Amino acid sequence: MSENCTHDCSTCSENCSSRDPKFLLEKLNPASSVKKVYGIVSGKGGVGKSLVTSMLASAMNKKNNRVGILDADLTGPSIPKVFGIKEKVYADERGLIPAKSKDGVEVMSVNLILQNETDPVVWRGPVIAGTVKQFWTDVIWEDIDFMFIDMPPGTGDVPLTVFQSIPVDGIIIVTSPQELVSMIVEKAVNMARMMDIPIYGIVENMSYFVCSDCGKKHYIYGESHIDEIAQKFGIENVAKLPINPEIAKKCDAGELESLDVSFLDKFVENM
């Protein structure tokens, strides 16, 4: 603490131990209202984080909640694609108006403001982090009961920005069955604990495959260890998502909302 400290953290740029973390939080647009916020994270890429984000949003929407998705994975945005959203977002005098899926899930993603969805986002970290903040502050999120934030993999700039700038109520960790995952999950758990963010649950994607001929479960990536990992870290909510070609087919067609998402009911009921 500086000897000239005024004890007003809102006007101070010093990084001292007495700073109240709440002063780092960004304010919502005055026209917005968001009740609960959950971040969907993964320690590595390619485990189905965006898929789980979309399924959680769809599951919550089916329970008659107003749901929004903030797509913070700016360099790999896929949320609009799986919901079949093609129209661009627009702005009025209040701010940016998010796009809506067929069933009414509100979505804000960088692909909805780019001229072409295949245009690469070649931006430095601070610009990406600033854009994520704007998706929170400048977008009109009207009467949202549950917001899900799809984060990029790892523990870098964007997850740190989200944890510090947005009042996150909890995170869901997405993983896959490989042995190395226990180490990757532990990194995500440790970051959440460092940032004092509750860990709500773990979803293991590509957990198993059910043979259409014999009906047996086959563990293509080896036996699941997710229950052991969850027990180790005291995480109660666990869900296992099988490998299913129908899921990929529906996502490619922009029809994710037609999928059965009942495997997430335990998550949704306790949120």
* CB burial readout 64-94, b (16+ within 10 A) else e: ebbbbbbbbbbeebbbbbbbebeeebeeeee
Total H helices, total E strands in the chain: 8, 12
| Tokens describing residue 231 | 């027990």
Cα–Cα dist 268/271, whole Å: 5
One-letter amino acid at 103 equals D
Reported as type and span, the H/E element at residue 210 is: strand 209-210
pTM: 0.88
> Whole-angstrom distance between the N-terminal and C-terminal Cα of the chain?
39
Distance of CA 127 to the CA centre of its chain: 19
Tell whether the model's pLDDT for residue 118 goes beyond 50: yes
The DSSP annotation for 143-165 comes to: SEEEEEEEPPSSSSHHHHHHHHH
Confidence of residue 270 (pLDDT cuts 50, 70, 90): confident
pLDDT of residue 19: 46
Of the given ranges (71-75, 77-81, 127-131, 210-214), which has the lowest mean pLDDT?
210-214
pLDDT of residue 116: 83
pLDDT of residue 83: 97
Reported as type and span, the H/E element at residue 175 is: strand 170-175
| Tokens describing residue 2 | 């500086």
Q: Within a 13 Å sphere around the CA of 255, how many CA atoms are in the beta-carbon half?
A: 9
Cα–Cα dist 25/161, whole Å: 10
